[in-house]
Structure 1
């Protein structure tokens, strides 16, 4: 039987202080924090000075509040938190439909692929061209673009050429716009990004977030992927709910 893990008490106490300050509706004084956490007052002052020096807390006239480092950490970890919550749904979809699965998000005007769940018998697509610049040719890119309003699509498309990746890639802006406006639910890429590969995607919508969940497979399996889009839509809904819960 494994022994108990070795813990560093000073780190625990510092983290508990951050929790207590964050939970307080008003600036928290050192005496209040010492009593709340059952810490000696000198120890509390020492930890608070360290946290203020490092930017995790700010000292005001009437107590302590969370510092800028905490805010920055939360912003950097937004994508990481989405990945953590979405991964089970991606893995479940991969195993159910036997194909590599993908999660992409629309952030700061860009289409970003943030996670892939694949396996030895379900390899991911060879991303030979950066997916952020070819949203017109990927299922998840088209899915995200179809969720944007017209000005949003125009902004993205004004910055990226409609590259001709395969004979099946749509490069006419008018045809692309018509298809994006008509897209509802599941969106397909049938050898538009890579010959021999098909991909289908469903939108992920949550407060403050637009994204897509997609699955790829050899093009011979395209009819099977499109025959039952329910699994893909359910996976996208699970991701959306997980993200909404975090928000």
Structure 2
């Protein structure tokens, strides 16, 4: 059976160049890249020029090439997410009082929250969170907790980038539908210290969320504690909010945050 045609040879060549530059004992010249990868010189020069333009490579004073700072940005983002997930699970290992709840860790990306980690409880009313899942931030406790953790200027910029006309339709009748409602909700979160998803994502499901802060005090993620509405009578609502705040503080502390 013949091999399928390679539809993206330039991408494969670019990755091979990155591997070569990383492994080289000294910054390779364009001629070195062409020779070692058996590429036409014009092809090698063209790829190298574009990779420098995109920040994937940098040209040294000796006309050689080294890895660019854009790769460091990507690597730092991956490391940050791994650290968040590791610290989240580390804290959960020492919190048996949270075993009966569904626990989630999310990050804000534009208009959505992305689920980085979750531990599902068997009792959560048919809801099963999974890593990689995305939901509109304004309907989630963790998303609103992160929005409430922004300073005023950053939050205003977020609103400008995501006008109400671009908001998705609420999945339940309880979802936020206007900027006025969102702003009021953010103020309430800042006042009480935690966010509440009162069946905005799914009928019959409640979630209490709080923001995680890094060493600089920036809100970088959110934790959520979810349970069925039918189980709310077993708890004090303020106590559930306090548990979310306490969980977020514990993860934040392990990330280096020493604020209140």
The reply to whether TM is greater than 0.5 is: yes
1:170 aligned to which of 147, 167, 176: 176
Residues in 2 aligned to 1:70 and 1:174: alpha-carbon distance in whole angstroms: 40
Given the alignment, which residue of 233, 236, 241 partners 2:253? 241
Cα deviation 1:109-159 (Å, max 9, x = unaligned)? 75322111224456883469x964521211111111222322223424557
**Does the aligned pair in 1 maintain the 2:101–2:226 contact within 8 Å?**
yes
1:145 matched residue in structure 2: 147
Number of residues of Structure 1 aligned to a counterpart in Structure 2: 194
Note if contact 1:166-1:191 (Cα within 8 Å) is conserved in structure 2: yes
Which of 191, 216, 230 pairs up with 2:226? Answer: 216
Q: In the aligned structure 2, how far is the partner of 1:175 from the partner of 1:131?
A: 25
CA distance in 2: counterparts of 1:106 and 1:99, whole angstroms:
22
Say which is worse superposed, 198-207 or 71-80, in terms of deviation.
71-80
Query: Which of these residues, 99, 102, 127, is aligned with residue 100 of structure 1?
Result: 102
Question: 1:27-62 deviations in whole A, cap 9, x for unaligned?
Answer: xxxxxxxxxxxxxxxxxxxxxxxx983515654789
**1:105/1:209 contact within 8 Å kept:** no
Report the 3-state secondary structure (helix = DSSP H, G, I; strand = E; otherwise coil) of the residue aligned with 2:169.
coil
Instruction: State TM-score, norm by structure 2.
Output: 0.60
**Aligned partners of 1:95, 1:56: CA distance in 2, in Å?**
48
Aligned-residue CA RMSD (Å): 3.7
Distance of 2:220 and 2:75 partners within structure 1: 22
SS in 1 for 2:251: helix
Match of 1:231 in 2: 243
Contact persistence 1:186–1:201 (CA under 8 A): yes
Tell me the distance in 1 between the aligned counterparts of 2:211 and 2:200. 19
The CA deviation string for residues 165-188 of structure 1, in whole angstroms up to 9 with x for no partner, is 112222133122222123221111
Q: Secondary structure at the match of 2:227?
A: strand
- Structure 2: gaps spanning 5 or more residues: 1-17, 28-59
1:53 counterpart residue number: 20
